[in-house]
Chains A and B, each alone.
Chain A
Amino acid sequence: MSALLALEDVDARYGPVYALRRVTLTVEEGEVVAILGANGAGKTTTLRAISGTVRRTGRIELAGRSLARRGPEGAARLGIAHVPEGRGTFSELTVWENLRLGAYVRRGSLRDDFARVCDYFPWLERRRSQQAGTLSGGEQQMLALARAIMQRPRLLLLDEPSLGLAPLVVGEIFRILGELNRREGTALLLVEQNARTSLALATRAYVLEVGEIAFAGTSEELSTHDSLRRSYLGY
């Protein structure tokens, strides 16, 4: 299989409780894929299984290299950037230090990357020495994205980037995600409550239901299929 990311029969548990059962999914090089589903369906756990922050079994490969025995440090080194729930911002550190940490697994000068990131988020330049914890929620989400871009990932995992943000900010963030995907060919795997926004960006989607994949198909199929839409997306 030539997919960038491939999961096959992945199980994950929290203690005795299964959070994922036999999850199989793929993300192609440069593709945008959404994972949808209700609260507690296993969306976040799917991302955590990929980056290795939860115990899991099954086959997980990035560009043919197994992630099964790697923790999150190893996943980051292979080219996965994970922006987790709560954004993973180092609020005690400055904006610039957060960005430097984004590039931790890479070698060489940061200048080009910083210029690239400032292309997407021009305000970062002026506020690089501000403590990250004092940014607004939207700014923190953008900083989390910027940090991930510094890593030059092949695959970006995003957990609810729209959570708790004003619609205008959400629009801005999704516009930047689209641009990132077009300009740099970064593949995105996106977990979202906000199905409409994410289906507009994604080409394919998976719907999770109590830890299992209940539907897999193109975004178009999902949004035009009436009963699917109603039962899984609720609009």
Chain B
Amino acid sequence: MTERRPTAEWIVPAGLVAVCVLLVVGSLRSALFAQQTVSGLANGGIYASLAVALVLIYRATEVINFAQGALATFATYVAWQLMQWGLSYWAAFACTLAIAFVGGFAVELVAIRPVERRGSVLTVVIAAIGLLILVEGSIGWIWGNDVKFMPTPFPAHIYTVGGVAFSRQDLSTIAISLLAVIVLWGFFRFTKLGLAMRAAAVRPDAARLVGVRVSWMLSLGWGLAAALGAVAGLMAAASPSVLLQPSMMDGILIYAFAAAVVGGLESAFGAVVAALMIGVLLNLVTSYVHFVGPALQLPVAFVVMLVVLLVKPSGLFGRTRVRRV
């Protein structure tokens, strides 16, 4: 609200440039480094789409949707089911996005709106946690708790560039997750409805005065977040290291949450940058720092989050609001 003291504005961009330079130089010198960076970016892309979904809902309601990961898992199971019924992967992908959108919309309408109208932010958080339990439970109830095998849309193909092997899997994951985020950005930036949703998020009272139906904008936001989460879920399930089971997205949600917080919670761009960084960092740390096995990945993510928040409490791109009277 108030203007903060101008803590060196250049630090964040300068740091990012430094990191990019480091990654490029490292990748040029070592094939392993390059491979780990790219597969880290692929993980980061998955975290990014889920993190943007979190930011989307946070901006509108100031609530972290803890059920975001479970909803994404549910959508992934829907895709699996559609493929069992004989749809091709991409047909199932498209149908799943549509179903996730409608589902997210409906969840807001049925589970969140009645609670929000009466209660505080805290009640909505509790409703979201309840939703998490409910959705994960119903996945187990409908499909069972055993691991399912998700067909992958990406044939095991390797591209070799200058002696470095990149898997098609990783490259496609990066492309699709980032494309989803960019499409969403374009929607918010250029369409009338997107503008109305932003207005409803920043100043609901004033938005209603110009004729925006704010409560519908919230439902729409949940729908879009769920669709974006579905992209994350589908990309995660396509990766050979992730198994399709009811708790599939639990770990990913935590990384996405860390990314959203590091990015500044209000900034989708910040969330994307932070998610990519976290993905790359975790991959590099596990392959170069030997005592950090996969078991210590999570603590590393939290150390990153803590350090960033200590240096810049509003997150990397947490907007210092400018306002004059």
Contact = CB atoms under 8 A, between A and B. Distances in A.
Nearest to B208: A72
A135 B324 CA distance: 7
A147 interface: yes
B168 interface: no
Interface stretch (B124-132, B198-206, B272-280, B310-318): B198-206
Given A53-B208, A73-B212, A147-B210, A90 B203 contact: yes
Contacts of B209: 51, 53, 72, 76, 82, 84, 88
A136 B324 contact: yes
A133 B324 contact: yes
Contacts of A84: 205-206, 209
A interface bracket (residues with beta carbon within 8 Å of B)? 20 to 34
Interface in A104-135: 104-105, 131, 133-135
A90 B324 contact: no
B224 to A, nearest CB: 19
A91 B324 CA distance: 9
A101 B322 contact: no
Nearest to B325: A137
A164 B325 CA distance: 9
A77 interface: yes
A88 B205 contact: yes
Interface stretch (A24-32, A92-100, A214-222): A92-100
Contacts of B211: 72-73, 76-77, 104-105, 151
A104 B199 CA distance: 11
A93 B198 CA distance: 9
Interface of B: 192, 195-196, 198-199, 202-203, 205-214, 319, 321-325
B196 A53 contact: no
Given A135-B324, A164-B325, A101 B210 contact: yes
A71 B215 CA distance: 12
Given A97-B195, A101-B196, A164-B325, A92 B202 contact: yes
A89 interface: yes
22 contacts: A53-B205, A53-B209, A73-B208, A73-B211, A73-B214, A77-B211, A84-B205, A88-B206, A88-B209, A90-B202, A90-B206, A91-B321, A92-B198, A101-B196, A101-B210, A101-B212, A104-B192, A104-B212, A133-B323, A133-B324, A137-B325, A151-B210
A161 interface: no
B323 A101 contact: no
A117 to B, nearest CB: 14
A42 interface: no
Nearest to B193: A104
Contacts of A104: 192, 196, 210-212
A6 B205 CA distance: 24
A105 B210 contact: yes
Contacts of A37: none
Contact of B322 (A53, A93, A131): A131
A146 to B, nearest CB: 12
A211 interface: no
Contacts of B202: 90, 92-93
Contacts of B321: 91-92, 133
B208 A71 contact: yes
A73 B324 contact: no
Contacts of B213: 73
Contacts of B203: 88, 90
A136 B325 CA distance: 7
A76 B210 contact: yes
The 7 closest A-B pairs by CB, nearest first: A76-B211, A105-B211, A88-B206, A72-B208, A133-B323, A92-B202, A82-B209
Q: Which of B192, B206, B321 counts the most chain A CB atoms within 10 A? A: B206
Contacts of B208: 53, 71-73, 76
Q: Which of A93, A137, A164 counts the most chain B CB atoms within 10 A? A: A93
Contacts of A73: 208, 211-214
Interface string A70-90: 011100110000101000111
A75 to B, nearest CB: 8
A104 to B, nearest CB: 5
A230 to B, nearest CB: 33
A55 to B, nearest CB: 14
A102 B321 CA distance: 23
B308 to A, nearest CB: 23
